[in-house]
Amino acid sequence: MDKNGRHLFAYAMGINTHQEPVVYMREDCPVCRAEGFNATSRILIRATNNKELIATLNIVDSNKLPSGNIGLSRIAQRRLDVGEGDMLVISQAPIVLSLGAVRKKIHGHALDSSEIDQIIVDINDHKYSDIEIASFLSVCAGDRLNLDEIISLTRAMVACGEHIEWPSKERIFDKHCIGGLPGNRTTPLVVAIASAAGLTVPKTSSRSITSPSGTADTMDTLMNVNLTIDQIRQVVAKTDACLAWGGAVNLSPADDLMIRIERALDLDVEGQLIASVLSKKIAAGSTHAIIDIPVGETAKVRNQADADRLAWLFTEVGKACDLYVRCLITDGSRPIGAGIGPAEEARDLLAVLKGQADAPADLTERALFLAAHLLDMAYHFGYEAGLHQARSILESGQAWAKFQSIAAAQGGLKPLPSPHYRQTIHSARSGIIHSIDNRRLARLAKLAGAPFDPAAGLRLSVNIGCQVSKGDPLFELFSESPGELAYALSYYQANMDLFHIE
């Protein structure tokens, strides 16, 4: 027996298995039999370039793969960095010891920092299968991680990613909204205003997890957000700000692996949320951050008590990691702005920045409120003075000028995409709009194709408090395929009460 494993040649299966590497072996393969592999095995593959990975094995009919070969899914091939015909060494996967800690958590016991460290290191090394990540996230969901666990998780996530340092800057500012309100795209406005006021705001944003758009999805329709760390430095050197996608700079790579499973499960995990947000801020070198926590019956956070707990956790975890955090609990009872989905939200941003008459006033006011707090955090001159300064920067066109400079430094402003399919939906009754279900509205935009199709989503013609007559437009739906448009429409037909009209 060869103690170091057995040899097979790489064969590109050309199958996209997302981030979970899958390998394929013939059922009559002697390596398969000799090593005792069966259809549920996890196996270790090493390339001659010394790269290695643990993958899930699928067995294939012997006529589907040449003898002596092992098939690789795309991600398996990319991680091993091999071409067809390269020699690979196959052996049993080592036992992943940190899965013992996951089982401990499953059984309701708190984890210490070394256990959490090891889980995150192993996830980051791609040693967990998808169902193992799903299991870990599910038992950390809700409020099942305590403060110490969240601090450990945050530090572990920072430790395994890249860092951005700012040797010439004393203070780095950041702003984040935990999400849950469709359309609430204030971040680019706050960044433009605050940097125009002299703060350094090198903003890296996420793509959507469970919403119809994340800030990075929206910004991606306006400018290049795939910046390297060096490019971020160059943009910030020119403009004191940037609007980049955090995923491109690998600030919290373990988080990126977990977010995919969270998205597939349509799950939000409190401790993971905090660690995800703060790890990226810490890795990006931030010293001061405001966090917007919208509260409403159908927002991500449903009541004041949950918001208070979240604010406390953000503040305490920040403190433990040398990040000064101010949480702002805001009204989350209604969508903010009119556009929902990447491009439609970008349209609203431009309208606000340009001072257009049709700019959504609620989006403008929410952005000014947050910018005012960020300015107060920097200059300690009080909220009112901050609000006055923020408004004058926006109304004078300084924010729009700053936004254009950032866009220019990031390769120039792009034209917004238009959707291929659209349909206006009219009210079936007359009355006043008493409430709008944010969750179902978000789901509607997602079913139409957001955020994967940037032009997909919807645009509200109404908001809470509006008087509508039967036949008045409620919203327009946008989609890139007829299948998705039909899918979204059938969901709306079954959920017309998401607009509560009386």
**Minimum distance from residue 17 beta carbon to a copy of itself (Å):** 6
Q: Min. distance of Cβ 61 from a copy of itself in angstroms? A: 3
Question: CA-to-CA distance for 107 and 457, rounded, in angstroms?
Answer: 41
Strand-pairing partners, residue 176, are 291
Q: The tokens 């990691």 sit on which residue?
A: 321
Catalytic residue numbers read 268
| Omega before 451 within 30 of 0, i.e. cis | yes
Burial tier of 211 (Cβ tally within 10 Å: 0-12, 13-18, 19+): buried
Q: How far is the CB of 150 from a copy of itself (least distance, A)?
A: 17
> Which of residues 93 and 321 has its CB atom nearest to a copy of itself in the complex?
93
User: CB-wise, 268 or 376, nearer to a copy of itself?
Assistant: 268
DSSP secondary structure string, 165-188?
Answer: --TT-S--EEEEE---STT---HH
Alpha-carbon distances of 88 from 15, 30, 54, 235, rounded to whole Å: 19, 15, 13, 42
CB of 342 to a copy of itself, least distance (A): 15
Q: Which is nearer to a copy of itself, 165 or 497 (CB)?
A: 497
With beta carbons less than 8 A apart as the criterion, state whether 325 and 314 touch: yes
| Helix H or strand E encompassing 277 | helix 270-283
* Tokens encoding 351: 């309208």
Helix (H) or strand (E) run with residue 243 in it: strand 241-245
Considering beta carbons, is residue 34 or 496 the nearer one to a copy of itself? 34
Q: Which amino acid appears at position 56 of this protein?
A: T
Beta carbon of residue 334, minimum distance to a copy of itself (angstroms, whole number): 23
Q: How far is the CB of 101 from a copy of itself (least distance, A)?
A: 13
Output Rg (C-alpha) for the chain, integer angstroms: 25
DSSP codes joined into one string, 146-171 = -HHHHHHHHHHHHHTS-----TT-S-
Three-class DSSP category at 118 = helix
Q: Quote the least distance from Cβ 485 to a copy of itself, whole Å.
A: 8
The dihedral over CA atoms of 100, 102, 106, 110, expressed in degrees to the nearest 10, equals 100
Residue entry with tokens 């936004």: 403
**Strands 69-72, 22-26: parallel, antiparallel or unpaired by DSSP?**
antiparallel
As a whole number of angstroms, the distance between CA 295 and CA 180 comes to 9
The Cα–Cα gap between 119 and 133 comes to 10
Cα 182 to chain centroid, rounded:
14
What's CA 60's distance to the chain center, in Å? Answer: 35
**Min separation Cβ 6 and a copy of itself, Å:** 8
Task: Please report, as a single letter, which amino acid is at residue 370.
Answer: L
Residues of this chain that bind a copy of itself (CB under 8 A): 1, 3, 12-18, 24, 27, 33-36, 38-40, 58-61, 63-64, 91-92, 95, 99, 103, 106-108, 129-139, 141-144, 260-261, 263-267, 449, 452-453, 479-484, 486-487, 491
